[in-house]
Amino acid sequence: MSQHAAVVARSGRFAQGPAAEVAAFTESVSFDWRLWRQDILGSMAHAAMLHHVGLLSQRELRQILGGLAAIGREIAEAKFRWRPDLEDVHMNIEAALTQRVPAGAKLHTGRSRNDQIALDLRLWLRDEIGTLSGEVRGLQGSLVGLASRHVEVLAPGYTHLQRAQPVALAHHGLAYVEMLERDQGRLRDAFARCNVCPLGCGALAGSTLPLDRAFVARQLGFVDARGRVRLAENSMDAVSDRDFVVEFCAAAALIAVHLSRLAEDLILWSSTEFGFVRMADAFTTGSSLMPQKKNPDVAELIRGKSGRVVGNLTALLTLLKGLPMTYNRDLQEDKERLFDTADTVGACVRLMAGLLDHTTPNAAVCRAAAADPQLLATDVAEALVRCGVPFRQAHHAVGAAVALAERTGRRLDQLTPAEWQDLAPAAAIDPAVIFDLDRAMRRRTLPGSPGPREVRRQLARWRRRLSAGAAPGSRKAGSR
């Protein structure tokens, strides 16, 4: 180890470095190296603040900024040599800087790795939330696009996975757009609580030096929509808080669960038994044994990967629950869970959008399934209600009609007017009107219902929103 590196890596307190297996067990640079941009950005802002309060000369600041920029370039070009013996991304960069410029030895003034890692994670996650939110927007766009292209397609809606009532397939798709919109709101909330600057909180108790916390926070964009600077208000909380990681991972887990449900719908619908949709070859795979197979692996993996994302959330909550105040090394375990969640959910969102762009409904099969007259049994009961029959009696009468049809091997729309008259004397049922599927859909006019007018209105609303919409956390949304 070079002398500079040794000075950075351990204090005068230790006569010896850690045993090899301890070093291997405790290092984190093998995964936290990916925070290098944020680490350099944070160090640059910290150095600028040290200069601002008179703890660094102009010359020293210039040395530090130049050295950090050069290190950044080396890392970007994959020319930087990461050293596991220097433990983490922070020590690697600081040691390299100190080796280059003497002023590097002043960079860590008034700072601890505890506020530094909290800062790096917040900076990283802020960008990640913006990116994920944009990807979710893209997926919402794919759903709205698919729904718009096939707005005429009708299909059965299900409860208990039993055919229930007919719906526009577009309506089914827009249900997921709504779920994803709530996800967007959760990402926005997570962003707001992530966007708080911990720098200046030191190891746990701040510093006796005249640091300017607001200066550095402003430099790093820790401001709210109105431009007010956002500082962590308690130094002990600042270094031990990982709520922002949990909140993001919870929001991401719910996104993963929504995608898993959508994947399940697509898997069912692409089966021969349903035959409602066809996935393009490029988004399916074959079998190594059965030549005829075409498998929905992309959808299956999206469904499957939700498991690890939920697991990551559980792991984080478990990690935090017994920790005494304040920073404990346990917290190093947060990063791989966070990175895995962000990577996995991002990929799932992108792949789901691609899959939807390459999926086509089979309108004829969907319609044939939706045209099952039993799906309009509720419409018959509601027609009786319009004639003044109490709903419970109407429900009973139509139930009896369904039983009669089943008993006599006919469809519900094949009962004769006389039979209907028998079952519901108070009302005149005109099967030709009641069981006309398109008419039935036009009867559904309530807000939020699957009738053609309402679905078209919702589609237009979403198209407007998506073309105008800024991603939460983006500058356009004004949250920074």
CB of 125 to ligand ARG, least distance (A): 14
Q: Residue 88, interface with ligand ARG (CB under 6 A)?
A: yes
Strands 154-159 and 359-361: unpaired
The DSSP 8-state label assigned to residue 391 in this structure reads H
Of 219, 240, 270, 332, the one binding ligand ARG by CB under 6 A:
332
Of 197, 331, 375, 424, the one binding ligand ARG by CB under 6 A:
331
How far lies 134's CA from each of 150, 176, 257, 349, 355, in Å? 25, 16, 18, 10, 17
From 67-75, 323-331, 361-369, 411-419, span contacting ligand ARG (CB under 6 A): 323-331
Could you confirm whether 160 is annotated as catalytic?
yes
> Nearest Cα to 401, choosing from 421, 372, 428, 427?
421
Q: Residue 117, interface with ligand ARG (CB under 6 A)?
A: yes
From 68-76, 109-117, 156-164, 429-437, span contacting ligand ARG (CB under 6 A): 109-117
Q: Residue 113, interface with ligand ARG (CB under 6 A)?
A: yes
How far, in whole angstroms, is CA 384 from its chain's centroid? 46
Which CB atom, from 113 or from 171, has the smaller least distance to ligand ARG?
113
Q: Residue 120, interface with ligand ARG (CB under 6 A)?
A: no
Report how many residues bind ligand ARG under the rule CB under 6 A: 10
Give first-to-last CA distance, the chain, whole Å.
42
Structure tokens at 131: 């990116």
Which CB atom, from 245 or from 384, has the smaller least distance to ligand ARG?
245
Name residues whose C-beta falls within 8 Å of residue 274's C-beta, 6 or more positions apart in sequence.
Answer: 268, 365, 369
Which CB atom, from 34 or from 456, has the smaller least distance to ligand ARG?
34
Cross-strand pairs, 278: 360
Q: Residue 111, interface with ligand ARG (CB under 6 A)?
A: no
Q: Residue 240, interface with ligand ARG (CB under 6 A)?
A: no
CB of 114 to ligand ARG, least distance (A): 5
Which CB atom, from 274 or from 339, has the smaller least distance to ligand ARG?
339
Q: Residue 39, interface with ligand ARG (CB under 6 A)?
A: no
Of 4, 5, 9, 28, the one binding ligand ARG by CB under 6 A:
28
Residue 114 contacts residue 108 (beta carbons within 8 Å) = no
Task: Sketch the per residue contact string, 285 through 314, with ligand ARG: x for CB under 6 A, - otherwise.
Answer: ------------------------------
Cross-strand pairs, 265: none
Structure tokens at 113: 């790795």
Q: Residue 326, interface with ligand ARG (CB under 6 A)?
A: no
CB of 371 to ligand ARG, least distance (A): 60
Residue 248 contacts residue 129 (beta carbons within 8 Å) = yes
Of 98, 114, 165, 260, the one binding ligand ARG by CB under 6 A:
114
- Element of type H or E holding 373: none
Which CB atom, from 116 or from 133, has the smaller least distance to ligand ARG?
116
Which CB atom, from 120 or from 454, has the smaller least distance to ligand ARG?
120
CA distance 9 to 212: 27
Tell me which of 287, 288, 474, 479 is the catalytic residue. Answer: 287
From 40-48, 135-143, 243-251, 326-334, span contacting ligand ARG (CB under 6 A): 326-334
323-348: buried (b, 16+ CB within 10 Å) or exposed (e) per residue? Answer: eeebbeeebbebbebbbbbbebbbeb
Instruction: Give the sign of the dihedral formed by CA 338, CA 340, CA 345, CA 347.
Output: positive
Name residues whose C-beta falls within 8 Å of residue 12's C-beta, 6 or more positions apart in sequence.
Answer: none
Structure tokens at 479: 């949250």
Residue positions counted in the chain: 480
Tell me which of 160, 172, 207, 474 is the catalytic residue. Answer: 160
Which CB atom, from 117 or from 259, has the smaller least distance to ligand ARG?
117
The DSSP 8-state label assigned to residue 427 in this structure reads S
From 314-322, 328-336, 445-453, 467-475, span contacting ligand ARG (CB under 6 A): 328-336
Which CB atom, from 142 or from 332, has the smaller least distance to ligand ARG?
332
CA distance 15 to 315: 36
Name residues whose C-beta falls within 8 Å of residue 23's C-beta, 6 or more positions apart in sequence.
Answer: 17, 84, 85, 87
With both helix axes pointing from N to C terminus, report the angle between 377-386 and 391-407 in degrees, rounded to the nearest 10: 140
Residues 348-387 that bind ligand ARG (CB under 6 A): none
Instruction: Give the sign of the dihedral formed by CA 61, CA 62, CA 63, CA 64.
Output: positive
Could you confirm whether 474 is annotated as catalytic?
no
Task: Sketch the per residue contact string, 405 through 444, with ligand ARG: x for CB under 6 A, - otherwise.
Answer: ----------------------------------------
Enumerate binding residues for ligand ARG (CB under 6 A).
28, 32, 88, 113-114, 117, 327, 329, 331-332
What residues are annotated to the active site? 160, 287
